Amino acid sequence: QLVESGGGLLQPGGSLRLSCTASGFAFNRYSMTWVRQAPGKGLEWVSVISNNGGSTKYADSVRGRFGISRDNSKNTLFLQMNSLRVDDTATYYCARDSYSNFDVWGRGTLVSVSS
C-alpha cells in the first residue's frame, strides 16, 4: 500500500514537499516513481528514483525544479517541488516501479498552484 501526503494550495513560486509512505512490501528493493495528472487530463511521468537512491531521473517539465529522494529506513518517498507554476497543478501519485511498470499506486495528493 502507498499513501501520499503533503498536497495543498499555494501561490506560484512556492515550494512544497510531498511524501509517500509504503507498507506491505520490501520498499528498499524497488525503484519508485511519481506520476501526476492535471485536472481532466492524462497521466504524466514526473520522476523516478532507484531502490538505493543512487540514481534519479526527471521529466523535462520539472528538471531543475523538483527533487526526488527516499528514506528506506522509514519506507518513505519524497518529492521536493520548488518554483511551482500554475501548470504544476495536478494530483500527484506515487507508484512502485518494476522495470518501468507501475504496479502499485497510491490514491494521490492534490497540489493546486494559483495566484
Partner 1 sequence: QSALTQPPSASGSPGQSVTISCTGTSSDVGAYNYVSWYQQHPGKAPKLIIYEVTKRPSGVSPRFSGSKSGNTASLTVSGLQAEDEADYFCSSYTGGMNYVVFGGGTKVTVL
- Residues forming the site for partner 1 (CB under 8 A): 33, 35, 42-45, 48, 57-60, 63, 93, 98-103, 105-108
How far apart are CB 73 and partner 1 at their closest, in Å? Answer: 26
Encode burial over 15-53: b for 16+ CB neighbours within 10 A, e otherwise. ebebbbbbeeeebeebbbbbbbeeeeeeeebbbbbebeb
Residue 14 or 105: the one with the smaller Cβ distance to partner 1 is 105
Residue 10 or 104: the one with the smaller Cβ distance to partner 1 is 104
Residue 106 or 113: the one with the smaller Cβ distance to partner 1 is 106
Separation CA 24–CA 53 (nearest Å): 20
CB of 31 closer than 8 Å to CB of 50: yes
For 92, phi then psi, to 5°, come to -105, 125
How far apart are CB 43 and partner 1 at their closest, in Å? Answer: 5
How far apart are CB 21 and partner 1 at their closest, in Å? Answer: 15
How far apart are CB 98 and partner 1 at their closest, in Å? Answer: 8
